Amino acid sequence: MSHPDAALMPRPESFRARPMEQQPHSFDRIAPAPVKLGNSQGHDAAAVKAGARQTRWLPLLALATLICVALSVIFILPRWQAGHRESPTPVSLSAAEARAVAATPAAAPNAATTDAASEEDRKAARSAAQDLLEQVRELDQSLKGMGVETWAPADYRSAADQLAAGERAYQALDYPGARAGYQAALARFEALVQKADTVFTQSMMQGNQALLDGNGNAAGAAFQTALLIRPDDAGAGKGAERAGKVDQVMDLIRTGDERTRAGELAAAVAAYQQARDLDPDSAAAQERLQSARRELGAQSYRAAMSAGFAALGAGQLTAARGHFTEALRLQAGAPEATDALRQTETRLTSAEIEQHLAAARAAEQSEEWGTAVTEYEAALKMDLNLLAAREGISTAADRRDLGQQLAQAIARPDRLADDNVDEETTALLARAGSVTSPGTKLKQQIAVLSTLQQESRTRVAVTLVSDGATEVTVYRVARLGRFTSKEVLLRPGRYVATGARAGFRDVRVEFTVAATGTGTPVQVKCTEQIGGVPN
């Protein structure tokens, strides 16, 4: 027969969470007490009844003990073990997670141990998902900064969809599913980062090609895409700047082309120059400018050559030389211009030599011998082998020197009183007289100098006055001694007389004797007493 408290005992399933180390299986059998029969039968009967009542409560006591042990195993033991395990890292729950946990029905008491183990796995999966999400969001922000939605919208939407799928799984507390979604999104974002380099390179190529094609809009769009990916790239920035000028550059190039077809090369060069100044890197502007300059140079060269030959034919040698020189500047080393300039230089040299010779002969006629020498020297510089200039310069130099010497002698007649000078003058006059066909100027110089020489040889009476105490001497003439007045015959010229007297300072007197005399007496006397007053 069952126990009246059997309904309160836990079922065997309640012990699955953590099995007990030992459970009671049976109660100890109670040995019957011995009963003595005799006169004390009444007393013994009472004792037997009391023992029977005690034996009846023992099974109830054991059952109550078993129930307490079972409850301790179910409720107290798991909490004690949880308190002694290493505490896990606390994880903050989102509002959705908190609501999901609150809405989850309480687990049956027999699933406590299984829930503790799965909680650790759940936390690990959640942490892994969060790490992936952080990487994904970092790449997402970086790609948005590079304008990914502009140059790869479809690929970006696909990656964003994977990210959204992971978010939905995360909100549903499906952390393994969230992790898978984030991983797929991360792979797509990483692929987009790699694609950015490719897109940049392609955009630069497209932009440069569009510049070559003169398509400013396409070039601008391509370079703007490149700048989205690499905002600080110098090449992309420069390309975008050039793209904004393409229309103006192309208009100027078309204007230059029109001027070229019309033969207006100077105007064409100006237009191409403006285009290149606007965009120095424009290959089209640079090529056309160089071509137009070459054609303009060729045209100018032909014009210079024509003008040079025309001037040469008209005998305008200097002008012809200028035209041929300009032609060589336009086309350095051009054979035709080189030959023409050489011929012109030869003719011009000959003409200039003839001009110098003519000038020299004219100077000889006018007895400007210094000028004649200069002209002959100029001719010799142009042609060292020019015989006429060599002979002419020899004669002209001799006549120039002769004329200069005669002029110097005439300018200083006072020197003629010197016997040495007189001899030199005589020789100079003889040299001048030997000249064949002397000119008027030479004849005049000879006549004047001859007269001066004759006059210098005629002595003139000169009166000297002294004090009778001064010793008088006339240099290059004689010592005259002491006198008060004396007349001396002297040749015209410059003289020096000195006076000396004891106790007086010496005197020196210079005087000139002309052909007509001195005019007044020459006084030579010492008047300044040394250490005293004049006498």
Model confidence over 388-423: pLDDT tens digits? 899 899 999 999 999 999 999 999 888 887 888 989
> According to DSSP H, which parts of 331-433 are helical?
335-365, 369-382, 387-411, 419-433
Do 261 and 323 belong together in one domain? yes
With respect to residue 103, please indicate whether it lies within any of the assigned structural domains: no
* Residue 509, pLDDT score: 96
Answer yes or no: do 136 and 158 share one domain: yes
CATH number at residue 308: 1.25.40
In a domain, 307, yes or no: yes
- The answer to whether 180 and 128 are in contact (CB under 8 A) is no
First vs last Cα of the chain: how many Å apart?
197
In a domain, 441, yes or no: no
**Three-class SS string for 230-280?**
CCCCHHHHHHHHHHCCHHHHHHHHHHHHHHHHCCCHHHHHHHHHHHHHHCC
pLDDT of residue 1: 40
Residue 221's φ and ψ, nearest 5 degrees, are -65, -45
Measure Cα distances from 69 to 57, 110, 113, 232, 280 in Å. 19, 16, 18, 77, 97
Containing domain of residue 251, as a range? 245-332
User: Of 273, 330, 325, nearest to 299 (Cα)?
Assistant: 330
Q: Read off the pLDDT of residues 66-111 as tens digits, 9 standing for 90 and up.
A: 554 444 544 443 443 433 333 333 333 333 333 333 333 444 444 4
Are residues 484 and 407 part of one domain? no
Question: In the chain, how many domains are there?
Answer: 4
| Both structure tokens of 101 | 């946990």
Determine the distance from the C-alpha atom of residue 46 to the mean position of all C-alpha atoms in its chain, rounded to a whole number: 130
Do 203 and 225 form a contact (C-beta atoms < 8 A)?
yes
Q: Tally the residues of the chain.
A: 535
Q: Which of 243, 262, 286 is the last residue of a domain?
A: 243
Pair (237, 258) in one structural domain: no
Token pair belonging to 304: 């210079």
The answer to whether residue 474 sits within a structural domain is yes
Show which of 313, 332, 351 is a domain's final residue: 332
200 and 239 both lie in a single domain: yes
* Whether residue 232 is found in the same domain as residue 250: no
Q: Same domain, yes or no, for 209 and 307?
A: no
Predicted confidence at residue 322, as pLDDT, reads 95
Note whether residue 366 is domain-resident. Answer: yes
**Per residue in 453-470, pLDDT tens?**
888 888 888 999 999 999
State the virtual CA torsion across 422, 423, 429, 433 in degrees, nearest 10. Answer: 150
130 and 227 housed in the same domain: yes
528 in a structural domain:
no
Handedness of CA 175, 181, 184, 188 (dihedral sign): negative
Q: Which amino acid is at 189?
A: F
Q: Minimal CA–CA distance to 183: which of 132, 144, 217? A: 132
Say what the alpha-carbon torsion angle 47, 48, 53, 54 is, to the nearest 10 degrees: 70
CB atoms within 10 A of CB 527: 14
| Token pair 């020489």 in the structure block, residue | 453
Distances (CA, A) of 262 to 257, 259, 265, 284: 9, 5, 8, 20
The answer to whether residues 310 and 385 belong to one domain is no
Do 136 and 228 lie in a common domain?
yes
CA distances from 45 to 41, 49, 57 (A): 6, 7, 20
Segments of the chain with pLDDT less than 50: 1-59, 68-71, 73-113
Is 100 among the domain residues? Answer: no
| Residue at 106 is within a domain | no
Q: Could you tell me if 237 and 261 lie in one domain?
A: no
From 184, 215, 243, the end of a domain falls on 243
Q: What is the pLDDT at residue 504?
A: 95
Place of tokens 């001899």: 423
Residues 366 and 278 in one domain: no
